[in-house]
Each structure stands twice: as C-alpha cells, then as structure tokens.
Amino acid sequence: RDWALTDTIRAGIAERVEGARVHGHATQRVPHLVCFSVPDLDAEIMSMALDDRGFRIAAGSNCSGAAGEASSVLEHMGVASTTSFRIGVGPDTTEDDAERLLATLPSLVSDLREMRAAGDAAMARFRSGQR
C-alpha cells in the first residue's frame, strides 16, 4: 500500500511539477517516504503554503531540522546545495490525499515562482533608485 502511494506521488511530482526533482532510487528506498526538491523556491515559504492547504511535510535538512538548510544526505548523493522536502505516508494516508497533493503542487509552485519574480523585480527597482 505504501509503495503504491509513494510511487503515485513520485511519478506525479516528476510529471506535473515543473523543475522538481524526485530523489532516491525508485525501488531501493523505504516504502513510506518521498523526497523531492524544487531548487528555485524558498523551502520555508513552500512549507508554510502547503501547511495552509492541509499538508504537513518536512523541509530542509533532516539532520538539523532547519527548513532552509541543504540536505547533507543529498550532497553525499551528488545533489549539492539543495533544500528538499519529505513526504511521509502512513496508515491514514489515502489515494485521495495523494491526488489532492498532486493537484495542489503544480499551481502552488507556479504561484510561488511568480511571487518570487515580482519580489525580485521590485527589489531591483528599489536598489537602482527607480520607483
């Protein structure tokens, strides 16, 4: 059951979330966890946005617990300076939960990218003295 749910989530993230990278081997992994990253997004903001939508996922380095820290495990796997997200499934996780997450992630990632670009543009005008 866990394998089926995490396989669905892994495939959905890879297919639906632009720029996302699913980490770990397809079968040589624990069955209840999915690890992925979206390199150009702030992990803390994305975690809060997902939390607001009812999803509780872990972000950042598993060892330090800091959402904005890159994962040392991923660095050892050759994925340097990447903040990751971990999704765990359990006895209460349903297929509907997985589909709801996969329906939410693409638009959320897109919205967060747009907000980041707008913030960057506003700060660039501010720094250059333009208003």
14-34 confidence digits (pLDDT tens): 999 999 999 988 889 999 999
Answer with the residue of higher pLDDT: 12 or 43: 12
87-121 confidence digits (pLDDT tens): 999 999 999 999 999 999 999 999 999 998 898 88
**Helices in the chain by DSSP H: which ranges?**
2-16, 43-52, 72-76, 95-128
Q: Give the pLDDT confidence score for residue 51 in this predicted structure.
A: 94
Distance in angstroms (rounded) separating the CA atoms of residues 80 and 59: 16
Site of tokens 């702030």: 42
Q: Give the pLDDT confidence score for residue 74 in this predicted structure.
A: 55
Contacts of 116 (CB under 8 A, 6+ apart): 40, 41, 42
According to DSSP, residue 71 is labeled: P
Q: Give the pLDDT confidence score for residue 39 in this predicted structure.
A: 82
Q: Which pTM was predicted?
A: 0.80
